Structure 1
C-alpha cells in the first residue's frame, strides 16, 4: 500500500491502491454502479431504435379510430440513418464492455473509464444527429404520418447515454482531483447488482425477439408485451396470438419474475448501502457529539453545568467523585430543590438564588434526564469537567444527561443504537416516498401529453393510470395506445415498479410494524389480556407509577382512619399477619395481580 500522488497542475493522480483518505463517496462508488445499471438498458432501447422503422403511415389520414398509431404501416428509413444508428449501437456496446472490464480489473481505470466516457458520448452524439437530421430532412407528414415506437426508444436511449457519460465524467473529475484511487472494489451485492441487471435486460430483449418471431409482433410491440408480462401488469392489449406463444409465455413469465425480484433486492441493498455508509453514520456522529456535550457523570460536573459554586467538601486539588445521592442533595439543597428519581434528576432553583441556569429574575425548572440518544464517554475521566467546561451552561430549554454508573452507560449505548435504527428506517421510508411521488406525478404528466390524441386522457386519468400500473393492478381500462406512450411506458415501468416494491418493503419496517405493535397492545388490554401488562406499563411510566402509589397509600391511610387502630390479640401467633395487612395489599401485589 502506498501513498504517492503524481501532481500535474491542479490534477492529483493517485496509484491503483493506497491508504490515503478518500472522499466523494457517491462519485467514487454510487455513480459507476448507476452507470453500469443504466448501460444495458440504453443498449436494449438502442436495439429497438435500430431494428424498427422510425416513421409510420396512418390509415384514413390519421383520423380516429381507423387512424390509431397501432394501425400504422411502417415507412422505409434512409440508408444513412440505419448505418449511423448501427454505429451508435456499436459504440454503446463497446463503452459498456470497457466499463465492465474496469469493474473486473481486466483493464486499468485510467484507460477503461475514459474509453467508456468517449464511446458513450459518441453514441449519444450520433443519435442526436440522426434525430435532428430526420426531423429536418425526412419528418413525418402530419396528420397522416407519425413517429414510430422505434424513434421514441432512440430518444430515450440517447438520454440514458448522456446521463451515463455525464455521471462517469464526474467520477473522472473526482479521481483527477485526488479524491480516491484508481481501483474500484466491488462488494458482493454490488457485483450481484451488475450481473443481475445484465441478465434481466438480456432476458427482456431475448424474449422480445422470440415473441416477435413466434407471434408476428413488431420488435417494439414484443418488447412492450414482455415488459408488462414480467412486471405482472398485464393490460391485455397485446396477448399471444397462438398456442406456441402461450406455451412460451408460461416459463418466460415465471423466470422473468424471478429475475426481476433478484434485481429489486439488489437495488434495495444498494440503496441501503448508500444511506448506511454516509447519511446514517453522519447522523449517529451528530447524536454522539450532542450527547457528550450535555453529559455529566458526578456531582462536580452537575454543579458546573448548573452554574453553582464548588462544594465545601471538595478542595481544588483532591476532587474525588462523590455519590450524587449522598453529596448533591446535601450541598445543592441550599440553592434549590434537587429531586432524584432513578436516572432522572430535577433541579428547581430557590427564589432569589441566581445560577448559571437562571437569567435575571426568571428561574427555570430544569430536568436533567439520562440519555435517550447518546453514547456516554467522559472526555477527561471521572471527576473532571468536560473540555468545554462551564461555558456550556444549561439554559431554560436544555436537558443535561446524568450517568452515574456502567449500567447507565450501557443503557445510553442502547439508546444511541435505537435512535440510529429509527432514523435509518424513517430516512429510507421518506426517500422511498419521494421517489414514488416523482415517478408517479412526472409519469402522469408524460402520459397526459402522449395520450392526448389517442385517448384524450386528462391529468387525473393519467394519475389513475400510473397508480394502477405502479401497483401492477392493470385493470386494462386505460393502457398506452400511442407510439410515444408505449415506448415511454417500457422505460418508466422498469424504473417505477421497483420503486414501489422498495417502498412497500420500507413500510414493513416502520408503518406496518407500528400498526402491528398497536394492534398487539390493544389486544393485551382488551380481548386478549396478557399477564403482567399493567406492571410493564407502570415500570415504563415512572410518573404514573408514582401517582398510583400515592393514591394507594392515601387510600390505605383513609381506611385505617375509618377502622381505627388495630390492637393485636395476645392469643394470636407472632407470625400471623395483622388484619390491617390482610385488608390492604401492597403496591407490588397490586401490580402482580394486574
Structure 2
C-alpha cells in the first residue's frame, strides 16, 4: 500500500514511484470504505428509530407525509440493533488498522466479516418483514425507515465487497499490509466522520425541538446543510430556529472541509495514477520510435546493415544506398519510410528483395515497423525537447481528461437521479422525465425553488444519498471548468480587448515575436516592395544587415516593430539565467565552478517562488549538470583520470548529461518542481565540494 522508496540512481523523490498495479485496491478502497461507513451507520440508525410500515389516511389515497406508523415486531428491532453493532464494529476495526493499533491480517478479515453480517442481517429482516408481516395495501405502505434499511444494507454489502478486493490484492502480494496515510487522507477520514456525526446529531435535535419524525428530520437536516431549502420543511419553534444558526454554520464548515478533502484525494489519485500512466505510454511510444543514427534506422526498418566497405563512402552514397529500398519523408523530427513496391522481371529488384528477406526476423512484424513513423533524435537536445513536448501534451491531456471525467460523472448522476425520482414520485407527483430532470438540475445547483420536492417515503431516503454524492461531483466539475473553460474564455476576452476596445501597448510586437513565420512573411513582402520600388535590398558593405530580412534596422525602417523589450525584472531574470547557461571562460577551473555553483544556488532558490513553476532550457540544464558533477570524487589512476577528464570535458562541451531525458531516470519525471530538484542536487554538490576542502587541509 505504501509507496516504494525511490532509488538514488533515478535522481527523483522518494514518493515518485507509487505502486502502479492494483493501486485502486491498495489506496482508494480503504479510504472509500471508511468514507461510506459513517453514511451507512446514519442510514442504519434512521431505520432503527423509525417504524417500517405506515397507514395512509383516506384508505391509501393520502400523502406519505400524513401516514401513521405501525409498531414493528420485537425481533425486527433487536435484529436491527445487532446489525448496527456489527457495522460500527467493522468501522472501528478499520480505524484501528489505519492508526497501527491492530494488524492488517487481523483487522481486515474481521471488518469484512462484520460488514457482511450487518448487510445479511438487514436483508434477512427486510425479507422476513415482506413475507410474514407485510403492509396491507392500499392503506398500508413501507415507511422511510424500511427504505433507509434497504440503502444501508446496500452500502454495507458494497463496502464488504471492496474490502474483499483489498484483501485479495494483499494475499496475491501486490502491496504490503501497511497503509501509509498522508495528511490529506487522514483529514478526509476525520472530517467525514465529523460531518455525518453532526448530520445525524442535528437530525435528532430537530426531531426533539420541532416534532419531526427522525427520518423527516434527517431529510430536513440534509436539505438545510446543502443550502437547497425546498421549503417543504421549516423550523417553527424558537428553539428550532435558534439551533439552526449553529447547525447550519458548522454544517457548512464540515461540508466544505469534506468536499475539499475529496477533491484533493481525487486529484492526487488522477495525478499519480492516470496522468502518470498516460505520460508513461507517451514516453514508451517516443522511445519505441526514436532513432539516433543510420544503424538504428536500418535496424528499426528491417533493412540490412552497411558493410565496412560501405561505411567508408560519403554521406551522398549512404543516402543513395538507403534510397534503393524506399523513399524517406522528413517532417520536423518525424521520418516516414515508404518502401518501393516490387516489380516483376527485374533482376535488381529481385536482389533488393533478397537483401530485405535476409534482414527480416519476422516478415509481418517488420512490415508493421516499416509503416510506422520514426523520430529522428540524433542529439541530446533533441531528446530533451521531445520530453518537453511529452510534458506539454500530458498537461493538456490532463486538463481535458479531468474535465471530461467530471462532465461524465455529472451527467450520469443527473440523468440517473431523474430516472429514479420519476419512478419513486409517480404516485405522489406523477412526474414526467423532463420534470424530473428539471428537479434534479435545481437540486444539483442548490437553487431549491420548492415547486417540486420529494414527497414519497422512498424518494426522501434516496435524495439524501443522491445529494450527498452530488455535491462533491458538482464541486469538482466547477473546479475543472474554471481551470480549462473559464481560463480559456478569460484569455480570449483579454486578447479581444487588447486588439479592440482596450488596446495594449506592444500587442503587435508580442504577436510578431510569437509568430516568427508570419513576421518572416511580412519581411519578405516588404522586401519585394523595396525591389519593386528600386531600393537596395542588401548592402554587402554593411555586415549588420542580413539577407533574411530579420535585422532590427531593416524591420524598423519598413515599419515592422522590433521584438518587444523586457521589463526590468524579466531582464534581470534573463541575465541571471544566461550567466548560468553561458559561463565565462574561467569556469574551467574548480574555484570558478564553485563560484558559479553559489550563483546558481541563489538563482534557483529565487526560482522556487515562481508561479507557474520555472522550467529550464537545455543550456541551463547542461550548466547545472556541470556544476553538479564537478565535485564528484575521483578514485582512478592518473592515466584513467586524464582520460576520464577528457571525456567529461568533451561531454560538457557538447552539453551532454548523465541521464536519458525520455528514459525512466529522467529528472523531468520527478515529483517535485524542476527548481526544487536542481536546488537539491546543487546543494549536494556544494556539500561534496566543502567536504573535499576539509579533507585537503
TM-score, normalised relative to structure 2: 0.67
Structure-1 residue corresponding to 2:523: 549
Deviation at 1:174, TM superposition (A): 1.7
Check whether the contact 1:303–1:309 (CA below 8 A) recurs between aligned residues. yes
Say if 1:591 and 1:474 are closer, same or farther in 2 by CA, change over 3 A.
same
Check whether the contact 1:338–1:345 (CA below 8 A) recurs between aligned residues. no
Q: Does 1:92 align with 2:90?
A: no
Distance in 1, Cα, partners of 2:562 & 2:38: 64
Structure-2 residue corresponding to 1:175: 170
Q: Does 1:451 align with 2:451?
A: no
One of 549, 562, 568 as aligned partner of 1:592: 562
One of 38, 41, 48 as aligned partner of 1:40: 38
| Counterpart secondary structure, 1:146 | strand
Say if 1:170 and 1:310 are closer, same or farther in 2 by CA, change over 3 A.
closer
Question: 1:384-441: per-residue Cα shift (whole Å, max 9, x none)?
Answer: xxxx9x9699867x65444465554443333222222222222222221121122111
Check whether the contact 1:44–1:205 (CA below 8 A) recurs between aligned residues. yes
Deviation at 1:199, TM superposition (A): 0.6
| Counterpart secondary structure, 1:105 | coil
Distance in 2, Cα, partners of 1:110 & 1:150: 36
Matches within 5 A, 1:164-563: 164-297=159-292, 344=332, 356-360=337-341, 399-403=373-377, 407-560=381-534
Distance in 2, Cα, partners of 1:214 & 1:189: 37
Deviation at 1:257, TM superposition (A): 0.9
**Cα-Cα RMSD:** 3.9
Deviation at 1:103, TM superposition (A): 1.0
Distance in 2, Cα, partners of 1:211 & 1:146: 25
Instruction: Give structure 1 stretches of 5+ with no counterpart.
Output: 1-18, 320-326, 349-355, 363-387, 568-573
Check whether the contact 1:532–1:592 (CA below 8 A) recurs between aligned residues. no
Structure-2 residue corresponding to 1:139: 134
Matches within 5 A, 1:78-157: 78-157=73-152
| Counterpart secondary structure, 2:562 | helix
Check whether the contact 1:27–1:171 (CA below 8 A) recurs between aligned residues. yes
Check whether the contact 2:531–2:537 (CA below 8 A) recurs between aligned residues. no
Distance in 1, Cα, partners of 2:538 & 2:268: 71
Check whether the contact 2:87–2:114 (CA below 8 A) recurs between aligned residues. yes
Say if 1:593 and 1:188 are closer, same or farther in 2 by CA, change over 3 A.
closer
| Counterpart secondary structure, 2:458 | helix
Distance in 2, Cα, partners of 1:309 & 1:558: 54
Q: Does 1:68 align with 2:63?
A: yes
Deviation at 1:254, TM superposition (A): 1.5
Check whether the contact 1:394–1:400 (CA below 8 A) recurs between aligned residues. no
Distance in 2, Cα, partners of 1:188 & 1:544: 51
Say if 1:307 and 1:524 are closer, same or farther in 2 by CA, change over 3 A.
farther
| Counterpart secondary structure, 2:428 | helix
Deviation at 1:173, TM superposition (A): 1.6
Distance in 1, Cα, partners of 2:161 & 2:334: 58
Distance in 2, Cα, partners of 1:182 & 1:489: 37
Q: Does 1:54 align with 2:52?
A: yes
Check whether the contact 1:339–1:345 (CA below 8 A) recurs between aligned residues. no
Say if 1:277 and 1:585 are closer, same or farther in 2 by CA, change over 3 A.
closer
Say if 1:531 and 1:588 are closer, same or farther in 2 by CA, change over 3 A.
farther
Say if 1:589 and 1:332 are closer, same or farther in 2 by CA, change over 3 A.
farther
| Counterpart secondary structure, 1:117 | helix
| Counterpart secondary structure, 1:592 | coil
Question: 1:446-505: per-residue Cα shift (whole Å, max 9, x none)?
Answer: 111110111111111111111110111111111001111111101110111211111111
Distance in 2, Cα, partners of 1:467 & 1:199: 28
Distance in 1, Cα, partners of 2:451 & 2:412: 24
Say if 1:511 and 1:585 are closer, same or farther in 2 by CA, change over 3 A.
closer
Question: 1:14-43: per-residue Cα shift (whole Å, max 9, x none)?
Answer: xxxxx9988312112111111111111000
Check whether the contact 2:510–2:563 (CA below 8 A) recurs between aligned residues. no
Say if 1:47 and 1:338 are closer, same or farther in 2 by CA, change over 3 A.
closer
| Counterpart secondary structure, 2:41 | helix
Structure-2 residue corresponding to 1:163: 158
Check whether the contact 1:357–1:394 (CA below 8 A) recurs between aligned residues. no
Distance in 2, Cα, partners of 1:582 & 1:102: 70
TM-score, normalised relative to structure 1: 0.78
Deviation at 1:62, TM superposition (A): 2.0
Distance in 2, Cα, partners of 1:128 & 1:565: 91
Say if 1:566 and 1:190 are closer, same or farther in 2 by CA, change over 3 A.
closer
Structure-2 residue corresponding to 1:26: 24
Distance in 1, Cα, partners of 2:334 & 2:287: 19
Farther-moved stretch of structure 1 (291-300 vs 49-58): 291-300
Determine which structure has the larger helix proportion and give its number: 2
